[in-house]
């Protein structure tokens, strides 16, 4: 029968999400937030599983399909083959999955997305370049995969535009959620001369706060928790991605597609968080430059490079 074209516009779609980490984790928290917003609007019914191990992911996917859910969302970076095999077995179910790979016409009900927030990461780099005094920046990431690399590279490009002589210490902790390890790694970078840290993972801003250096946030805004530490953050907004998928499922037109573009700033998928407590500390000329570049990104006259190569220390 293909994907359901029989849904009435007012009918909420049964949506299930499968997360490999806690919903508090930065990346997943943005998907969870968008799903709850859609639920509150009455567009979807929403259930989820968190902390799902990779070797259990396929089973959970199948259980949700058998339970009648029409849209499955989550991240399948470690279980690509298994997830696509499940999608083939349930052609009437739509799948929208965080993935390093592209959609495949052979699995027409499996779409991919990613947090392409390089636009906001670049803008946060402009701010960082103005705020580092030692011109030594530490960067702590989870894994050197495209999803992380492109944000780090965009951040570094922004920094270099303002402070071209800046040195970078780049490290990966081999985990998506290990705040103690991220914190220890950040301490080592501070000992190595960093006076500003790129906090791609939880735990980095804690180290920055303890050592009284600055930090730049990623995906979520944590300045309220670190008002004297987190200068700016590149935010991911999953709402445009999810809302597009919901509309396609309701219309019966969901197909294999790459939803990555809905994370671009011009589509409302990313933004630079307000400077807040640092509004008066960031130089006016940098704030003007950020505003100018943001306008250019949104009108298409400036494009932030998408560089998925692993960033290296300098």
E-strand stretches of the chain: 13-18, 44-49, 71-75, 94-98, 110-113, 136-141, 167-172, 196-199, 214-219, 230-236, 270-272
One digit per residue, the tens of pLDDT, for the chain of length 314 reads 445 444 445 689 999 999 999 998 888 999 999 999 999 999 999 999 999 999 999 999 999 999 999 999 999 988 999 999 999 999 999 999 999 899 999 999 999 999 899 999 999 999 999 999 999 999 999 999 888 999 999 999 999 999 999 999 999 999 988 999 999 999 999 999 999 999 999 999 999 999 999 999 999 999 999 999 999 999 999 999 999 999 999 999 999 999 999 999 999 999 999 999 999 999 999 999 999 999 999 999 999 999 999 999 99
**pLDDT score, position 100:** 85
**pLDDT score, position 7:** 45
Query: pTM to 2 decimals?
Result: 0.91
**pLDDT score, position 177:** 83
Whether the Cβ atoms of residue 89 and residue 59 lie closer than 8 Å to each other: no
């Amino acid at each position: 029968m293909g994907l359901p074209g029989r849904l009435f516009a007012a009918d909420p779609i049964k949506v299930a999400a499968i997360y490999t980490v806690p919903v508090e984790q930065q990346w997943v928290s943005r998907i969870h937030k968008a799903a709850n917003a859609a639920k509150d609007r009455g567009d979807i019914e929403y259930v989820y599983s968190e902390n799902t191990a990779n070797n259990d992911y396929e089973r959970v996917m199948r259980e949700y399909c058998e339970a009648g859910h029409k849209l499955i969302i989550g991240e399948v970076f470690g279980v690509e083959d298994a997830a696509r095999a499940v999608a083939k077995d349930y052609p009437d179910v739509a799948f929208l999955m965080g993935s390093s790979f592209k959609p495949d016409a052979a699995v027409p009900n499996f779409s991919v997305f990613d947090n392409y927030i390089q636009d906001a990461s670049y803008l946060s780099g402009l701010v960082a370049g103005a705020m580092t005094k030692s011109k030594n920046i530490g960067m702590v990431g989870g894994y050197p995969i495209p999803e992380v690399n492109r944000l780090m590279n965009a951040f570094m490009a922004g920094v270099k535009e303002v402070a071209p002589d800046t040195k970078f210490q780049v490290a990966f902790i081999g985990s998506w959620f290990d705040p103690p390890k991220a914190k220890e790694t950040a301490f080592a970078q501070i000992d190595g001369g960093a006076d500003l840290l790129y906090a791609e993972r939880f735990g980095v801003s804690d180290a920055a706060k303890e050592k009284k250096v600055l930090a730049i946030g990623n995906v979520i805004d944590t300045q309220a928790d670190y008002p004297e530490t987190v200068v700016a953050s590149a935010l991911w907004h999953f709402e445009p991605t999810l809302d597009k998928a919901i509309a396609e499922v309701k219309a019966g037109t969901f197909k294999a597609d790459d939803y990555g573009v809905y994370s671009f700033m011009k589509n409302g998928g990313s933004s630079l968080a307000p400077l807040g407590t640092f509004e008066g500390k960031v130089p006016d000329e940098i704030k003007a430059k950020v505003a100018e570049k943001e306008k250019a990104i949104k009108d298409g006259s400036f494009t932030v490079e998408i560089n998925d190569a692993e960033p290296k220390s300098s």
